[in-house]
Structure 1
Amino acid sequence: MVQSVLGSLILGYRPLWNRARKLAAIQLYAHNDASAVVDAGHLLRTLQELWSASSPPLLISAQTRQLLCDFLEHAPRGSPWIEVRGEWLSDSAIFTRVQAAHQRGLRLVWRGDATQLPEAEIARCFDNSLLTLPPEAAVAALQAAPARPGAPAHAARPASPVLAGQMYEGIASRALMEHCLDQNNALALAGWPAEDVLYSMRHSPQQPSHAVIFKLMKAIDAEESLESFEAIMGEDPLLAYRFMVYTNSAALGLRTGIDSLRRGLVMMGFASIKRWLSDQLPHASTDPNMQPVRETMVTRANLMAHLLDAGIENDLRREIYLCGLLSRLDELLGEPLGTVLRRLPLSERIYDATVLGTGPYASGLQMACALETDDASAIRQLCETHEMDLEEVNRALLRVLADLVVERR
């Protein structure tokens, strides 16, 4: 593997979610400085080495024209999807390469305004599109949406501007997300309207995932390993938090504070854990709209654990993961994060990183959050501020993304 390829790029990512609220693909942002020459072929070979059959499909979003041209010119047939911004097609050098890449069998995605779709000559070069709904189109889509049960009937509704089988981005409301995915069969959404999904649930307390609780109960019945139990509980930040609150409650009467999932699992015993899980199950959440919210938090925790080198210290690695997992609990619980975390006897390192933005874990958490965006300048600045090696940051990101699992149909 060529070492310099990942050192000359700034990468970021965004998940794409399908109608089942499952991970459909990953949009990989790739940015290069004007002074850096990037071998696109080497980058694609690096991705191929890291990716497995269960890894998510990739949509590569070059953030500079030069890099896009390199991908279009050198990517072999069978490469990941390559995004092309609609406004860049006015550049004849890019359009010529798009035509040649299409002839070569590359899968291209047109990205742009849903109300300004390309003409037929251009459109035939693309396999799909990543569309943005401007405000007037978003309003029209919501007006076309079926009325909710119990709502007064209206006259015939207009046709929706949302096109079946296409991908959409910038969808900020739950209602518009449901219209795109459920009513108009959009292929996927890039990003997720997490803020509005959580706001729509503000009047009822958030509950852990029914699927994760049930999965953990089955693992206990099957007498799987302690590591397996810990990993499953770590798939839901709210379940992990509730479990630690319970293990530290006066009712349990444990003599020492439980500061990790593993210690709580060991101290309680599996029969007691299963009884506790059984009590959680009737109230657990089955809302699929929460699945992307949870998975985003879990990915951030995994990325943070890869960014910060814990050496051979497994306990330290678990603590770093827990720091990332709990870092957005305030969004789930509707309380200040400092108040939430003070209920647990956690390491001060977790509190410092998540609440104060200081301490040894702050760099990993800040970088993990920055990598969820296409803000190359912020990522570069964090590398300089915390003396993080860009190549190692990119390698950690790609390893985490490659380990994400997509359910194949």
Structure 2
Amino acid sequence: MAQTVLGSLTLGYRPMWGRSRTLSGVQLFVHEDSEGVDGHHLLRMLAELRTAESPALLLSLQSRELLTSLLQHATPSDPMIEVPVRWLDDARLRACVHSARSRGVRMVARGDAAQNPPEDVARCFERRMTALSAVDAGTALHAAKRARESAAVGRLAARAEGSPVLPNSMVEGVASRALAEHALDQQGAWAIAGWPVEDAVHRYAGQPLPPSRRAIVQTMNALDDEPSLERIEQLLGEEPTLAYRLLLYLNSAGLGLRSGIASLRHGFMMLGFRSLSAWLAEQLPHATDDAGLRPVNATMVLRGHLMEHLMDAGIEDDLRREVYLCGLFAQLDLVLDEPLKLSLSRIPLSERIVSAIVSHNGPYAPSLKAALAMESDDPAPLRAVRETYGLASDDVNRALLRMLAGGSL
């Protein structure tokens, strides 16, 4: 039955970023490929694949019938459930909302800034999720400016009046850093869904993104504690800029190591922890404290881990690391602000990685295309990838849920 549930769905996801610019939760888009999916079995499957380290989940159902089924069976320990405000004209759905609330089910009302839940169910929702239009975004930014201008000198700007962004809410449609800062820092939103990646990297246009100072210091501190190889590999692999720079350094002619080092683990084993720590110290003057880059990097890390799970069919450890790098470096042009082919030509990655990223073919291409397609609320691209490459929906969906269960961020 569990296989039937996941085999009848197309799942997608969108990270939600909190005030520290780290992962607060994940919005899981659930599309039915056939009618009659059992909400109770779906909740059971989600519970089986979650761990204590899993991020908070918000289930975004695209079917009113499946939403109703979930509300009838959900418990307080299940993920948050999104309820579109536009569907609350349905008396049966409102009754399900009341019943779910009486059992302690956590629900989020989703709508645009002008939509409010009917009064009889308004108190049933733990949070609001507001979709900002272009007009709403302009209103929010104007409100933010007025609040800053009226704030006392030397004090934090007061919460802005007249902004469509509500305290402790979730916000989508955030297309700029300024709007993200207004929502999270000024208004106290719980999280924003998605991240304004293009605007976040715009200030570095024409140059590579700098590595994170926090990541460098964290890795250097870990090296002082004589960590496992797995721990150092994990830390370095969670910072795309740093991972790329290290591979460049390991393969530089002046270092004198054996050529063709394409693995982070192989590289720092050859280099040694003391030399690695010294190299990291040399990176500190070029590092940044820009928290706005954390979601950019973390999104690439999630993609790498998803690829690992998509190809996890008896794969050996060395190949798993290679698959992870394929996902991590898939959007390296965003990090380095230069063509992917040029960036990848500077380090001796396997042809399997290069073919998947640059030529969109080879053994890793189906998993990479599936991983990229799942970063969306539109099921059509993922369905097309599954059909083209013969990927089973059950396997693809299970890979996503296992990635989310890992709590790696």
Normalising to structure 1: TM-score of the pair?
0.93
Distance (Å, rounded) in 1 between the aligned partners of 2:76 and 2:211: 43
Are 1:143 and 2:146 counterparts? no
C-alpha displacement at 1:356, in angstroms?
1.3
* Aligned ranges 1:54-69 → 2 under 5 Å: 54-69=53-68
Indicate the residue corresponding to 2:116 in structure 1.
117
Q: Which amino acid aligns with 1:397?
A: L
Distance 1:12 1:135, change over 3 A: same
Which structure 2 segments of 5+ residues have no match?
153-157
Distance 1:213 1:105, change over 3 A: same
- Indicate the SS of the match to 2:6: coil
Indicate the residue corresponding to 1:82 in structure 2.
81
Indicate the residue corresponding to 1:376 in structure 2.
379
C-alpha displacement at 1:161, in angstroms?
2.5
Indicate the residue corresponding to 1:50 in structure 2.
49
Distance 1:148 1:298, change over 3 A: farther
1:293 to 291, 296, 299: 296
Distance (Å, rounded) in 1 between the aligned partners of 2:45 and 2:282: 47
Distance (Å, rounded) in 2 between the aligned partners of 1:102 and 1:28: 21
C-alpha displacement at 1:310, in angstroms?
5.6
Distance (Å, rounded) in 1 between the aligned partners of 2:356 and 2:233: 23
Does the 8 A contact of 1:310 with 1:317 survive in 2?
no
Q: Which amino acid aligns with 1:137?
A: D
* Aligned ranges 1:110-259 → 2 under 5 Å: 110-146=109-145, 159-202=162-205, 205-259=208-262
Deviation readout 1:33-71 (Å, 9 max, x if unpaired): 3x3322211221222122222211111111111111111
Deviation readout 1:87-111 (Å, 9 max, x if unpaired): 1112333222222222332111110
C-alpha displacement at 1:288, in angstroms?
0.8
Indicate the residue corresponding to 1:24 in structure 2.
24
Q: Which amino acid aligns with 2:5?
A: V
Identity %: 52
- Indicate the SS of the match to 2:75: coil
Indicate the residue corresponding to 1:278 in structure 2.
281
Distance (Å, rounded) in 1 between the aligned partners of 2:29 and 2:206: 37
Distance (Å, rounded) in 1 between the aligned partners of 2:57 and 2:246: 35
Over the aligned positions, Cα root-mean-square deviation in angstroms equals: 2.1
Does the 8 A contact of 2:133 with 2:173 survive in 1?
no
Does the 8 A contact of 1:130 with 1:168 survive in 2?
yes
- Indicate the SS of the match to 2:13: strand
Indicate the residue corresponding to 2:393 in structure 1.
390
Distance (Å, rounded) in 2 between the aligned partners of 1:9 and 1:184: 36
C-alpha displacement at 1:148, in angstroms?
11
Q: Which amino acid aligns with 1:5?
A: V
Q: Which amino acid aligns with 2:61?
A: A
Distance (Å, rounded) in 2 between the aligned partners of 1:99 and 1:264: 58
Distance (Å, rounded) in 1 between the aligned partners of 2:359 and 2:95: 51
- Indicate the SS of the match to 1:257: coil
Indicate the residue corresponding to 2:155 in structure 1.
none
Does the 8 A contact of 2:213 with 2:288 survive in 1?
yes
1:346 to 340, 345, 349: 349
Distance (Å, rounded) in 2 between the aligned partners of 1:119 and 1:37: 28
Indicate the residue corresponding to 2:368 in structure 1.
365
C-alpha displacement at 1:391, in angstroms?
0.8
C-alpha displacement at 1:354, in angstroms?
0.7
Deviation readout 1:335-389 (Å, 9 max, x if unpaired): 0111110111111111111111111111111111111112222222211111111
Distance 1:149 1:110, change over 3 A: closer
Indicate the residue corresponding to 1:337 in structure 2.
340
Does the 8 A contact of 1:115 with 1:137 survive in 2?
no
1:308 to 305, 311, 327: 311
- Indicate the SS of the match to 1:202: coil
* Between 116-125 and 246-255, the greater mean CA deviation after superposition: 116-125
Distance (Å, rounded) in 2 between the aligned partners of 1:147 and 1:351: 50
- Indicate the SS of the match to 2:7: coil
Distance (Å, rounded) in 2 between the aligned partners of 1:374 and 1:209: 30
Q: Which amino acid aligns with 1:401?
A: L
Distance 1:36 1:101, change over 3 A: same
Which structure 1 segments of 5+ residues have no match?
none
Distance (Å, rounded) in 2 between the aligned partners of 1:203 and 1:243: 21
Does the 8 A contact of 1:56 with 1:405 survive in 2?
no
Q: Which amino acid aligns with 2:103?
A: R
Distance (Å, rounded) in 2 between the aligned partners of 1:338 and 1:148: 46
Distance (Å, rounded) in 2 between the aligned partners of 1:205 and 1:329: 10
- Indicate the SS of the match to 1:24: strand
Q: Which amino acid aligns with 1:8?
A: S
Indicate the residue corresponding to 1:402 in structure 2.
405
Are 1:327 and 2:330 counterparts? yes
Does the 8 A contact of 1:17 with 1:192 survive in 2?
yes
Deviation readout 1:136-169 (Å, 9 max, x if unpaired): 221111112237999xx9xx98632221111101
